[in-house]
Structure 1
Amino acid sequence: MEQLTEDSSFDYIVEQFADLQLLRYRVPGFETLSLQRKQLIYYLSQAALEGRDILFDQNGKYNLQIRRLFEAVYLHYQGDRTASAFHELEVYLKRVWFSNGIHHHYACDKFVPGFTADYLSDVILSLPAAYLPLGEGETVQTMCDKLFPVIFNPSVMPKRVNQADGEDLVLTSAANYYEGVTQKEAEDFYAALKAPDDEQPVMYGMNSRLVKENGTVKEQVWKIGGMYDAALRKIVGWLEKAEDVAENDAQRQVIRLLIDFYHTGDLKIFDAYSIAWLKDTDSMVDFVNGFIESYGDPLGMKASWESIVNFKDMEATRRTETISNNAQWFEDHSPVDSRFKKETVKGVSAKVITAAILAGDLYPSTAIGINLPNSNWIRSVHGSKSVTIGNLTAAYNQAARGNGFREEFVYSDVERALLNKYADLTDDLHTDLHECLGHGSGKLLPGVDPDALKAYGATIEEARADLFGLYYLPDEKMVELGLTPDSEAYKAEYYAYMMNGLMTQLVRIEPGCTVEEAHMRNRQLIARWSLEHGLADRVVEWVKRDGKTYVRINDYVKLRGLFGQLLAEIQRIKSEGDYEAARRLVETYAVKVDAKLHTEVLERYRALHLAPYKGFVNPVYTPETDGKGNIIDVKISYAEGYAEQMLRYSRDYSNL
């Protein structure tokens, strides 16, 4: 891959506001692709962008109208645009864009506006009604009466995803996946659909909204002719163009099955598409497009819409291919009980990719690795496909250089030297192991419901994958395979992981709040469990220096042993569907926050003037034609700004 760290001319940082920083990412190698592949990326990118409104609606029933209201103000308000209240209104809109709705993309709490309801009312009333997103039969006043409590009242729709133990997670979550049903009604509805002897169960509820109409619980399916029809028709239109320029028959079949799924909503067709997608390992260009991850559903069933278009980084992929080619060795030597291991690891493939476009739940904030499909039976029978997104991790690394974070939070020069020497490599390797082997490892015992862990399933699954990677990073097999340069490299990831899980990820949490997001819960669970269970030997400990708290690892070898013990227990919980054990583990270690430590971490971080969350502005692809409508080239540009891009997307890809 092109060495992005050596390119000082590329401006990675776009802007910063609230707790967010926007970055650019480069797409190295795009210009050298064949015309056919450039066309394919362009068509798939258009299909990706057409789904933007779906995620806004999934995240909350009022999100689209609120976004359009604030965009109208931003574009057309003729009053004092230098006033502090207007600046706060602009920040609010930028946060709505970033989070695809009015709740924080990570913490899930509703934004607190920095302006008053009276100010917003005055601004709205100054605009011609023609500029406002009035619903059918609505007046300006009735629109405001409906939306203002949602925007300003802290007790109305306060959490997009509520994970508080003991509460009705459906009724207390603002995500737009359920309407008029309770958690028990939703769980009972889907439990009734499942056959205990079905060896190839579809992911029930994945592509629908569950509602109660006239006392009857029913699904509103997301498909052409059903819910989200207008957006899905646009997506399919671009997918059909992509099908015409597909690289090979296997890829053409993948696209055709996805189109069929969007037409029918048939989850059996989605499984067929998933199998075809994971088996297509020869195509240079690849994509994800559809209802994929379930983190936004408090019950972990409904899937948010997302898309990424990418192409293979051939040089860096040699690293992940080495891992996937040895998948059986890693499975066999895992510290988990043999009852929970796969006898034969099938279909595991991995690659490093260059992202070309991000969309839906992968934009602006995105994952740096993906492992799909999510279906347990498909993983067991057919395998999975894993990717590490190389150009995004490179952009993160480049933007973070010299920002003072390590100097403030890392215990000593010894640990800083480890991080400076190895961290970029070991962080990528941990992602590779997490996605390629961690998620693909282990098996459920016969008859175990894939949804048995309910609201705790996502945290347990992420912990399982993280622990798999952490356990194997120090292994001599990693050096033998040429993946790590020596037996010391893993210590960089161990230190960074423990420091983050115990301390520094707290910068992402508001004072007085608990940990709610699945990935953050996973990291705190692992770090706090390891700290507690290693206390007798002082494996990891808190230390104070100059009034500041630090993490110190005293025995890296014993820490690996602790990771192995926890991995064995996490895999047992997953394999047996032990809900109560999952609940105890998560609630004991993953949720609670030490208020005193939290205050200290926030103060130290605030002094660095950094943003804890980062996201990306996409490049712009422009086709060049020969005058007859035939594409003769596709040009890429990195010049578009954040607001400029968001407004263009709202103008050109607003389908709902």
Structure 2
Amino acid sequence: MLQHQSEYTWMSFMISFRMLQPQIFQLSVVAAFDALTSSEKLYAHHMSRAAWAGTRIILRQVSPEANGIFDLIIALHHACDGQWEALSQRTGVGMPDIDRFLDYAATFLSNVGNYIGSGDQKFIPDISPESLTRLAAVSPSATQLLDGIKVQLYQQLPNCLGVPNGLAQSAYYLGNDCLKSPEDTSAILSAMEKKGVFPENTRLRKSTPPDGITVYDLLQASVQQDESDLDILAADKKLRLIRGDHKQELEKICASLLSASQNVANPAQNQLLTELHDSFLNGDLNTYRSSQRIWVKDKAPRVETVLGFVEPYRDPLGVRAEFEGIVGIADTKETFVLRKLAEMGSRLIP
């Protein structure tokens, strides 16, 4: 695990990073997928597309530069069609540096961002900025993407997620000193509770326009867009609700949910998808909570899904949630073995 110390040089930081080699495993799902019915396969497909569409939401929640890094990785892959040896020859960048870039790309994609998923510490490419610039020169789009994120990509600070300061950053809180005032933060949470607005699918942005009135914008994830004054926090401070955060991603998710609803296994799944769709459409988390009560009643489905703003661990206040999308297919043989083991548990454990 990397920890920042003021005496670290850029090179010593990179040497520390070289100890973190990504482990690559192949997930074999062919047998499990082939065992599904045609309808179950279509359900799994469309739910997987919904989960994947949420990737950019997660990236946006992790760091301001994460979506740009993702685009750069994809742009370089497209530029060489995955033929990295050919890219090495075209750019004059040696394969050791190519491997360092691929190590970074694998780590980034595995963690869905440039901060470690377990520990929330930033990791930096082991390839030098000069070599990465030469790689990006293979296409104008890659060059433009790198120019937009190079500083953030390589800078050591902030080096972790947390309350925004010199050492940490949080993409849940935008604008200068968004969490500087504990009194404002408490008043905002109280106003949200009073108005029935849940925090999980929101971000908070602070701005001070020329009129001197401090404005806190509560950015709520939804397809529908509008804004309204939510509360007056003080004579010179107000809170607004702005719907439409992550709009483009949620539109794709809603479209996939509608397609998946044509291939549900039972009425409960149909109701689940309907309420998930409506929640993502209008941002209402009461509807989302209702969908989860349905979800727990769908016992042992062949295709298991988790979708929504559910994990609050990365929010320094512990109330705003990271988007999560998971689609799992039950392995019939392994499930049978585990069920038998569970039945034997009382005899095996005294």
TM-score range with shorter-chain normalisation? 0.7 to 0.9
Confirm whether residue 482 of structure 1 aligns to residue 339 of structure 2.
no
Equivalent in the alignment of 1:151? 153
Query: How many angstroms apart in 2 are the aligned matches of 1:21 and 1:36?
Result: 34
Deviation at 1:19, TM superposition (A): 3.2
Map of 1:125-274 to 2, 5 A cutoff? 126-134=137-145, 144=147, 147-155=149-157, 157-159=158-160, 161-162=161-162, 169-171=163-165, 173-180=168-175, 181-182=178-179, 184=182, 185-194=184-193, 204-214=198-208, 215-225=214-224, 226-274=244-292
Query: How many angstroms apart in 2 are the aligned matches of 1:266 and 1:95?
Result: 34
**Letter in structure 2 aligned against 1:148:** K
- Identical aligned residues as a percent: 22
Deviation at 1:266, TM superposition (A): 0.7
Deviation at 1:311, TM superposition (A): 4.2
Equivalent in the alignment of 1:49? 52
- How big is each residue's C-alpha offset from its partner over 1:618-647, in whole Å with a ceiling of 9 and x where there is no partner? xxxxxxxxxxxxxxxxxxxxxxxxxxxxxx
Deviation at 1:150, TM superposition (A): 1.2
Map of 1:389-400 to 2, 5 A cutoff? none
Confirm whether residue 118 of structure 1 aligns to residue 136 of structure 2.
no
Does the 8 A contact of 1:113 with 1:152 survive in 2? yes
The SS at the match of 2:223 is coil
Query: How many angstroms apart in 2 are the aligned matches of 1:115 and 1:318?
Result: 47
Query: How many angstroms apart in 1 are the aligned matches of 2:347 and 2:323?
Result: 39
TM-score (normalizing by structure 2): 0.73
Deviation at 1:131, TM superposition (A): 4.3
- How big is each residue's C-alpha offset from its partner over 1:28-87, in whole Å with a ceiling of 9 and x where there is no partner? 443232222222112212222222221111111111112222443453552124343333
**Letter in structure 2 aligned against 1:211:** R
Deviation at 1:158, TM superposition (A): 1.2
Query: How many angstroms apart in 1 are the aligned matches of 2:255 and 2:336?
Result: 35
CA spacing shift, 1:300–1:123, aligned 2, 3 Å: same
Does the 8 A contact of 1:51 with 1:235 survive in 2? yes
Query: How many angstroms apart in 2 are the aligned matches of 1:311 and 1:73?
Result: 32
CA spacing shift, 1:112–1:35, aligned 2, 3 Å: closer
Q: CA RMSD in A?
A: 3.0
- How big is each residue's C-alpha offset from its partner over 1:582-621, in whole Å with a ceiling of 9 and x where there is no partner? xxxxxxxxxxxxxxxxxxxxxxxxxxxxxxxxxxxxxxxx
CA spacing shift, 1:211–1:33, aligned 2, 3 Å: same
The SS at the match of 1:55 is helix
**Letter in structure 2 aligned against 1:208:** T
CA spacing shift, 1:240–1:150, aligned 2, 3 Å: same
Equivalent in the alignment of 1:93? 105
Map of 1:376-395 to 2, 5 A cutoff? none
Query: How many angstroms apart in 1 are the aligned matches of 2:24 and 2:126?
Result: 21
- How big is each residue's C-alpha offset from its partner over 1:482-508, in whole Å with a ceiling of 9 and x where there is no partner? 3155347xxxxxxxxxxxxxxxxxxxx
Equivalent in the alignment of 2:69? 66
CA spacing shift, 1:194–1:34, aligned 2, 3 Å: same
Query: How many angstroms apart in 2 are the aligned matches of 1:170 and 1:317?
Result: 44
- How big is each residue's C-alpha offset from its partner over 1:285-335, in whole Å with a ceiling of 9 and x where there is no partner? 33111111112212221211111223445676679889xxxxxxxxxxxxx
Deviation at 1:24, TM superposition (A): 2.4
Q: Please list every run of 5 or more consecutive structure 2 residues that lacks an aligned counterpart in the other structure.
A: 1-18, 81-86, 209-213, 225-243
CA spacing shift, 1:49–1:265, aligned 2, 3 Å: same
Deviation at 1:193, TM superposition (A): 2.7
The SS at the match of 2:91 is coil
The SS at the match of 2:124 is coil
Equivalent in the alignment of 2:237? none
Look at both structures and tell me which one has the larger radius of gyration over its CA atoms. 1
Does the 8 A contact of 2:116 with 2:122 survive in 1? yes
TM-score (normalizing by structure 1): 0.41
Deviation at 1:254, TM superposition (A): 0.4
